[in-house]
């Protein structure tokens, strides 16, 4: 039985990528600094003006400071080389960070809902000028960060989760600005509590999405665009491939997928094993964006051949 194994290497840390990471880290440093200033401003402003909406926004912004720091840490870790005990490097750190981030946010939004309910039942007076000015400053700070991070979030769950936070923040700042204006013109204080509900809602939606995405990756699920059946069907369509089995596809982080499989080669093929591997790798790269593969070519199917998926039992 002719058996040929091959590992198609995926270079994840070339110089270009590394300089981009450093560039990204600088942007994050800037974002963390501005966000922290916004947080302090809104906390002091919220206590001084008595606006719950401002305080909720401050809580939201504080969670953003954490999420930005986590994302920044993850970017730093992803530049660290793989080691003998961590053969994939630290890519998972980013996903784990996004997970912790999402869970914390769900907790924070719970607190906001509770506080907003209490406040709605017993509205208190608010120094509206202070609320308005601080909210405007917060809005300006968030716009500045969005402008800085713009265009970096494509395909990177980590940067996307950070962007989501900042976008949520910007929206809630807008809400507080509008709320301040309404209270100023009408003196209707419950608006403050209603806004807090809105901010809590914004936070919870983003948090649930990020958490779901992170759990999807942590459970070693296939990437959404490349489940096993689809990929196997595609590969079986290639001329030299007779069958595929024992197929595994998993995501290391949001933009780095790996695949391993046993490929049964058609016995009549004239192609050399190297060419077959090249063809399969090219297909996987172009159609599914999978560039890290370990493929085992077989002339005769082994005992597992009946199953596309390997159902290993826990011993």
Q: Measure CA of the first residue to CA of the last residue in the chain; give whole Å.
A: 29
Q: Does domain 222-306 have CATH number 3.30.530.20?
A: no
Model confidence over 87-129: pLDDT tens digits? 877 778 778 888 888 888 898 889 889 989 998 998 888 888 8
Q: What is the pLDDT of residue 19?
A: 77
> Are 198 and 172 within 8 A, CB to CB?
yes
Instruction: Identify the weakest region by mean pLDDT among 18-32, 142-156, 204-218, 256-270.
Output: 142-156
Closest CA to 63 of 25, 101, 112, 28: 101
Rounded percentage of the chain residues whose pLDDT exceeds 70: 88
Tokens representing 46 are 């919220």
Residue of 156 and 289 predicted with greater confidence? 289
Query: Cα(170)–Cα(192) distance, rounded to whole angstroms?
Result: 17
65 and 162 Cβ atoms separated by less than 8 Å: no
Q: Where are the domains of the chain?
A: 15-218, 222-306
* Per-residue model confidence as pLDDT tens digits over 161-191: 778 778 878 888 888 899 989 998 998 889 9
Residues 55 and 150 sit within 8 Å (Cβ to Cβ): no
Q: What is the pLDDT of residue 1?
A: 47
Which pLDDT score, from 0 to 100, does residue 13 have? 47
CATH assignment, 15-218: 1.20.1510.10
> Is residue 289 scored above 70 in pLDDT?
yes
Query: Could you tell me if 194 and 121 are in contact, meaning their C-beta atoms sit under 8 angstroms apart?
Result: no
0.95 cut: is pTM over it?
A: no
């Amino acid at each position: 039985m002719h058996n040929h194994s091959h590992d198609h290497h995926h270079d994840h840390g070339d110089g270009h990528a590394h300089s981009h990471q450093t560039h990204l880290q600088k942007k994050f440093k800037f974002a963390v600094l501005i966000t922290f200033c916004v947080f302090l401003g809104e906390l002091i402003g919220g206590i001084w003006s008595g606006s719950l909406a401002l305080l909720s926004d401050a809580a939201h912004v504080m969670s953003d400071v954490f999420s930005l720091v986590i994302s920044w840490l993850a970017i730093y870790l992803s530049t660290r080389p793989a080691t003998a005990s961590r053969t994939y490097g630290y890519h998972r750190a980013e996903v784990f960070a996004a997970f912790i981030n999402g869970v914390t946010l769900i907790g924070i939004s719970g607190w906001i809902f509770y506080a907003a309910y209490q406040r709605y039942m017993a509205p208190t007076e608010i120094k509206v000028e202070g609320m308005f000015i601080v909210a405007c400053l917060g809005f300006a700070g968030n716009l500045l960060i969005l402008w800085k991070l713009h265009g970096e979030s494509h395909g990177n769950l980590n940067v996307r989760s950070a962007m989501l936070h900042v976008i949520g923040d910007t929206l809630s700042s807008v809400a507080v600005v509008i709320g301040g204006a309404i209270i100023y013109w009408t003196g209707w204080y419950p608006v403050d509590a209603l806004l807090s509900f809105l901010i809590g809602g914004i936070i919870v939606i983003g948090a649930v999405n990020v958490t779901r995405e992170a759990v999807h990756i942590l459970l070693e699920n296939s990437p959404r665009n490349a489940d096993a059946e689809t990929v196997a069907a595609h590969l079986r369509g290639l001329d030299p491939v007779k069958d595929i089995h024992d197929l595994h596809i998993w995501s290391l982080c949001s933009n780095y997928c790996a695949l391993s499989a046993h490929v049964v080669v058609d016995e009549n093929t004239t192609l050399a094993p190297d060419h077959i591997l090249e063809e399969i790798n090219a297909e996987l790269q172009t159609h599914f964006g999978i560039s890290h593969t370990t493929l085992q070519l077989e002339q005769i199917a082994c005992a597992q051949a009946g199953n596309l998926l390997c159902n290993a039992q826990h011993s």
